[in-house]
Amino acid sequence: MTDLVKLTVDGGIGTIRLERPPMNALNIEIQEGLRAAAAEICADDSVRAVVVFGGEKVFAAGADIKEMAGMSYVDMARRAGALSSAFDAIARIPKPVVAAITGYALGGGCELALACDWRVVADDAKLGQPEIKLGVIPGAGGTQRLARLVGPARAKDIILTGRMVDAAEALRIGLADRVVPAADVYATAVELVAGFVDGPAHAIALAKQAIDGGLDRDLAGGLAWESQLFAALFATDDRAEGMAAFVEKRPAKFTGR
């Protein structure tokens, strides 16, 4: 891990906290810290849900431009894949993941939020992909995840103009899932995922996998993918417990096995 990315676990919920004030600029050390945190979460069965949080003042205002400014094409050609895959490591966590956004989620910060399953946004927060104003494009998933989330026309508007999106618009277009006062962002994010802590971990993981993996398939391929994952869950203890509890008219007690 790194001092710039901290992972804590409380009650089955892991919090990935960015610690690079004042703006949590996402330099290479943070990128690799995110990758390491994702790997640790994936290996720890006691973590059942995740909150990504930048702190009370700012989520992440973008990449470390000073670090990038001196890079050549060759330098970035070597680094771009690692940059994208660090954020993709968050997206591939097989557990519910929510971004708790205060202040700004811009550029790489917005891309990190897009890698999460949901976004809880402060009512005074600003989101956006301003890379076009630097003469580049989003390079860590922004052009792909944003278009899938809000549609290609809205994504082009946000990316080509580089404008900021306020919380109200983010909620309206589906970029935000909940908007709350800034002081309530982290608690609301925890509340959003708390219900998954005692849930059927394998079913939750495969539901995420079915949805995310089906987006690039045609309907027939997606249905076949879903069928494979559905059948796989019949090898789990939680499936047996869930169905037994239903028949016996009692609450299920899932173990994550």
Q: Give the active site residues.
A: 63, 108, 111, 131
C-alpha angle 113-210-148 in degrees, rounded to nearest 5 = 40
Estimate the share of the chain in helix, then strand, then coil, as percent rounded to the nearest 5.
50, 15, 30
Q: Is the dihedral of CA 85, 91, 92, 97 positive or negative?
A: positive
DSSP state of 63: B
Q: How far is CA 233 from the centre of its chain?
A: 24
Q: How far apart (Å, rounded) are the C-alpha atoms in residues 141 and 63?
A: 13
Q: Could you tell me where the DSSP H helices lie in 70-122?
A: 73-91, 108-114
For residue 22, cis peptide bond before it (omega within 30 degrees of 0): yes
Phi, psi of 10 (to 5 degrees): -145, 120
What region does 120 belong to: left with phi over 0, alpha with psi -120 to 50, or beta? Answer: beta
Q: What is the C-alpha separation between 233 and 222, in angstroms, rounded?
A: 17
Question: With the C-alpha atoms ordered 130, 58, 78, 117, is the resulting torsion angle positive or negative?
Answer: negative
Which residues are paired to 166 by β-bridges?
Answer: 126
Write the single-letter amino acid at 108: G
DSSP state letters, 124-161: T-EEE-GGGGGT----SSHHHHHHHHH-HHHHHHHHHH
